[in-house]
Amino acid sequence: MQDYKTKSICLFQGVLSPEALKKVKLTKGDHAFVCEGRPSLEAGRKTSGNLLKNGTTPTVISDNMAGFLFFKGLVKEVIIACQYADKKGALCDMGALILAVLAKKHKVPLKLLVAEKRHRFLGDPKDILSFEGQRIAPKDTHGYVPLVEWVPVRYLK
């Protein structure tokens, strides 16, 4: 098992491009956790791939594991993919709001970086009702798949 306590650790959320990741100053020995980015898992795939190209070894986590990392004191900085920002807040990839709230609560710095691409507002319900072509929810179950969310400025300071 990795010794995460002795390293500076960033938590990445959303699909970040190689250009955006160049703005994050990671040094040899730094570590990165990457939220998987349900339902498509695209964030885990693309952001991890871009981090590897930059010489940082990522650890992909399930989106709902971030709270545990904060609780254990493992998160030193949060990097969030942002599609749009103004003085009232930011439109970010889904999952950003909870990370912003956790970062504020735990007094961890948060940085917004430009998202690699703009998402639609809602995804296809089948994306959350099935996995690799296999239905995971009973027939007549509905799916709700927001892909972006608004993060109020009070959580970005």
Contact (CB, 8 A) for 148 and 121: yes
> Binning pLDDT at 50, 70 and 90, where does residue 1 land?
very low
Whole-structure pTM value: 0.86
Reduce the secondary structure of 61-92 to three states and give it as a string: ECHHHHHHHHHCCCCCEEEEEEEEEECCEEEE
Residue 153 clears pLDDT 90, i.e. is over it: yes
Tokens, residue 70: 């904060």
pLDDT digits over 37-76, tens only?
A: 888 888 889 999 988 887 888 899 998 899 999 998 889 9
Residue pLDDT, tens place only, 98-144: 999 999 999 999 999 988 877 688 888 888 898 888 999 999 999 99
Cα 43 to Cα 30: distance, rounded to the nearest angstrom:
20
Neighbours of 149 (CB within 10 A): 17
